[in-house]
Structure 1
Amino acid sequence: MLWLYGQFMHIDASEASPAEGYLSALEKHPRGSSEDITIETKDRPIIRTQKEVHGIYYQIVDRLLDVFILSDAYDTRQLRNDTMSALQLFHNSTGWYSDCVWLVTKAFSKLPESSSLCQYLIKSWALLWHGKEVTGEFAHDMTALSTAFLVPVLCLTAKRESDGGECKSQLKQELDEWCTFHEHPDEEEKRVCKEKRETNRPFFRNFILACTEIAIREDTNITQDSLVRAP
């Protein structure tokens, strides 16, 4: 575990690093744009399509999921909390949530449904779901989702669409709140955690950058076209 933490603190976080370039691109370019993206690095500019950059996004989340699964397997509460902090910071800085079927399937197959990460996925999907008709490829992939995920998502979505915005505001607040998805044994630890949020931000930024570096190195063929997102 000490080695793992060390990787977060000793990565190349310079503005010219590929990891920083990709992360900055995710923060600056909204999903849905069709323009190519130039990622500045210390070696040379890298031209990537929106699909390629968005594919990196899902790989970063997948790496964070891997760390959470590891921390759950070894029952390391602090690492679970840190992973959730990094995931929240990543989503807050990019304006995205993990609306991807295979990530949900992986999380619910590897983690207890009561885990903070699984609950985070439920809340984020409930916030994103637009109530559109489920058809085509998405309908096919929905069969892979567990009822432990689908039932609360559908219930929250129905409530969100019928209460005039109160549920939506509550979901957004919970997803943005720093300690909602942390495991704190008492209020004192929660208070200290909230107080140190800004102080610890560089650590969590490096956490995300470490996952970004791994995603870039692996550079699989995962792109936005090969992923199925919530409608």
Structure 2
Amino acid sequence: MNLSFFDQFSSPYLLGIPLIPLSLLFPALLLPTPDKHWITNRLSTLQLWLTHLITKQLMIPLNKAGHKWAMLLTSLMIMLLTINLLGLLPYTFTPTTQLSMNMALALPLWLATVLIGLRNQPSISLGHLLPEGTPTPLIPALIIIETTSLLIRPLALGVRLTANLTAGHLLIQLISTATAVLLPTMPVISTLTFTILLLLTMLEVAVAMIQAYVFTLLLSLYLQENI
């Protein structure tokens, strides 16, 4: 059976049952649950500190009206962070390499920010489509450009996350294959490619964390414009 490098991004199945729900739920099962003790263990304390840090960073650009989104945005970032990092382990599957899943996250949340703006401050939200002081002949063109820029935001969110993770996984697959193939014939070159593989893996870990933060931060910035 011939497999291509892109088969690693196909949805896994077991006995005809898709395993994507399992890969989405498994990271949450690894998080420690709070107990009834006054003093928690080190892992729970670290989780609380990380959650507080993430929430604080995401709420900085928002006013008090946007703080209602704190739990949603923090949960979204922790979910993306755990899925991205666990997807780097061998024999695992990364759901966020699927554009359909990323668009399913980006489109409803982006639409919610737009609807909130149209409900609470319709004049200001519609005013973003036409900058103040625009010359009259340029008004139709600018409205079309700004409307296109607004509608393309969810697509940019989903494609950015998908492209970065897919490119990193593909590079790791290519370099690891080259390392295994060159080992019997050219061990020196194989050692060099293995060193590059380690550095690329470290970079991919950073990319997995950064992309989860960027995805959530951009949503908070979109929310800031509409509250």
TM-score by shorter chain over 0.5? no
TM-score category, normalised to shorter length:
under 0.3
More helix by share: 2
